[in-house]
Every structure is written in C-alpha cells, then in structure tokens.
C-alpha cells in the first residue's frame, strides 16, 4: 500500500469532547481525547467502568453526532453511520426470527445484486466457520457462535474499521479465549482496522498492536503503550507478564475495582 493510500484510510480522533445532559446537570464523559489509528492496526482500549470507552466507539461508528472535536476516516469527517464502519456489541443482538444467513444478509447495503449478496453471505459464513449452521436460528447457537454471526454481519460490507465493544465479556473463560483466537484469524485474513474495548488486560495485550489506557471520567488518553511482542503471543512469557505489570502499575492506582485477568 502506498503512503498516500495508507494516509487516506487513517482514523483520526482529535480534541474529542463529549458531555451528556442528565436532568438539570451536565456530565462530562470524554475530554480532549486524541489518537490516530493506522490502516490494519489492532487497537485495544481499556479504562475504568463507566469512563466513556463505549461512548467513544459509538461516536466513531456514528451513532451519536453530538460532540466537540473531530473524528475523521480517510480525511473525511464522520457525521453519521456508514458502511465503512462496522460494530459488534457485547450482546449478539441478532434477530431471533431470522436464520444465521438471514441475519448476515440483513447487514448488507443496497448496492449489490441478489446474486452478489448470496455469494458475500456464503463467503462470510465460511470466514467465521458457520457454513454448516446457515439455516439455524440464534436460539440454536452457543454464545460464541452467536458472536461469530454478529462479527460476520459487521464485516459483510467490508468496512475499513471494525469496532468491538467488549464482544467476549459475556462468554465463559474457554469460549472467550477461543473467540480471541478467532478474531485474530479474521483480522489477519481481512486486514481490517480494529478498535477493541475490553476490561481484560490480558486480552488487550494478546490482541492489540497498541493498548490505549483511558483515565477515569471524564476520560482522556492517559497513555498509549505499544505491544512489541511477536505473534502468536504467549500469555505466560516473561515479556507478556512484564507488560501486564507495566500497565497495572501505570493505571491501577486510580481504579477502585480491579480488572479481571483472563486465564
């Protein structure tokens, strides 16, 4: 990819501020948030509960347009939702009356022909390893499989940026680890830029190229830590544990409730 092409896909968050009006008072949630994400980069975002991490993702995806500052992708200001950004929430949020393939089909825009849509859905069923469950309904799937459907639906329009809002938080420990491996495989296949919000430091290090640590509310970018560990990463290696301790030391002093470590 040329330098010009790379710059054209960069996500830039600049002097971002967000407040909410609650009854007769104003609550400041985000304050002077600044960072840029290179094309194809995997960014992990951690911070105290309620600090505004999920709000940040909602602003990037365009679900909330009331903020101060700038959010741009490829030099274009984000002013609302678009197919160049996809989002996966903690809950799968599938339509229970639709099959797996119909849920994925629902995420497609209007620019493709019926034949193209059928091919794209099949392609993404294979991407997430659910081709044999195409006709199944959400209630027939495990939690991890439901999240795979959500990820496929978010990717069908081939977004430049995929936003993950604690997508594995409701899963059991072993399923969570398996899903971390899955999202890495998909990321390496699709080369999509990913922003992941998580409460799990091990998960942030295992997945991310960089870890952005947010402060307590009003949240700002307290520190950005590069994860210079080779992939695949060993959670029990000296360097992994050392980096976990560094994040813990820099951040946990201001957090009242400790984060959970994955096993």
Q: Is 193 exposed, middle or buried (0-12, 13-18, 19+ CB in 10 A)?
A: buried
| Residue 206 lies inside a defined structural domain of this protein | yes
Distance, in Å, from the CA atom of 209 to the CA atom of 193, rounded to the nearest integer, reads 11
Q: Are strands 42-46 and 210-214 parallel, antiparallel or unpaired?
A: parallel
Task: Give the pLDDT confidence score for residue 5 in this predicted structure.
Answer: 42
Residue of 60 and 3 predicted with greater confidence: 60
Asked, for residue 31, whether it belongs to a domain, the answer is: yes
pLDDT tens-digit readout, 109-148: 777 888 899 999 999 999 999 999 999 999 999 999 999 9
List, for residues 5-49, the tens digit of each pLDDT value: 444 689 999 999 999 988 888 999 999 999 999 999 999 999 988
132 domain-assigned: no
Range of lowest pLDDT (75-84, 202-211, 242-251): 242-251
Q: How far apart are CA 152 and CA 88, in angstroms?
A: 10
Is 126 domain-assigned? no
Q: Is residue 197 part of a domain?
A: yes
Distance CA(4)–CA(178), nearest Å, equals 36
- Residue 104 is assigned to a structural domain of this protein: no
Query: What is the overall mean pLDDT for the chain?
Result: 90
* Amino acid 4: pLDDT: 42
Partners of 192 in the beta sheet? none
Is the predicted pLDDT of residue 205 greater than 70, yes or no?
yes
Pair 199, 47: CB distance under 8 Å: no
* Number of domains present in the structure of the chain: 1
Identify whether 114 is part of a domain.
no
Predicted confidence at residue 231, as pLDDT, reads 94
| Least trusted range by pLDDT, from 18-22, 150-154, 210-214 | 18-22
The reported pLDDT for the residue numbered 77 is 95
Sign (positive or negative) of CA dihedral 42, 65, 110, 9? negative
Q: Per the domain annotation, does 101 fall within a domain?
A: no
Give the integer Cα–Cα distance in Å for 74 and 80. Answer: 15
Position 253 scores a pLDDT of 57
CATH number of the domain residue 235 falls in? 3.40.50.300
Q: Is the pLDDT of residue 107 over 80?
A: yes
Range of 26's domain? 3-84+159-254
Classify 207 as helix, strand or coil: helix
Q: Write the pLDDT tens digit of every residue in 167-189.
A: 998 899 999 999 999 999 999 99
CB-based contact 247:235 (threshold 8 Å): no
87/154 Cα distance (integer angstroms):
6
pLDDT at 8: 61
């Amino acid at each position: 990819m040329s330098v010009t092409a790379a710059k054209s896909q960069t996500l830039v968050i600049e002097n971002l501020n967000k407040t909410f009006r609650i009854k007769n008072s104003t609550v400041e949630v985000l304050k002077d948030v600044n960072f840029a994400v290179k094309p194809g980069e995997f960014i992990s975002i951690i911070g105290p509960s309620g600090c505004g991490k999920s709000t940040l993702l909602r602003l990037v995806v365009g679900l909330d347009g009331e903020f101060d500052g700038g959010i741009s992708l490829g030099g274009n200001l984000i002013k609302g939702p678009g197919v160049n950004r996809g989002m996966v929430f903690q809950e799968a949020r599938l339509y229970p009356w639709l099959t797996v393939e119909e849920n994925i089909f629902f995420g497609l825009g209007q620019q493709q022909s019926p034949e193209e849509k059928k091919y794209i859905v099949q392609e993404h069923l294979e991407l997430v390893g659910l081709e044999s469950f195409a006709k199944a309904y959400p209630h027939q799937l495990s939690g991890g499989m439901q999240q795979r459907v959500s990820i496929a639906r978010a990717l069908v329009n081939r977004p430049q940026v995929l936003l993950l809002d604690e997508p594995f938080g409701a899963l059991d420990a072993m399923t969570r680890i398996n899903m971390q491996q899955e999202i890495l495989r998909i990321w390496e296949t699709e080369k999509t830029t990913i922003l992941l919000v998580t409460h799990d430091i091990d998960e942030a290090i295992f997945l991310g190229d960089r870890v952005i640590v947010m402060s307590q509310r009003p949240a700002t970018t307290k520190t950005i830590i590069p994860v210079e560990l080779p992939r695949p990463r060993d959670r029990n290696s000296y360097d992994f544990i050392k980096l976990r301790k560094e994040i813990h030391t820099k951040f946990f002093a201001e957090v009242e409730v400790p984060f959970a470590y994955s096993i």
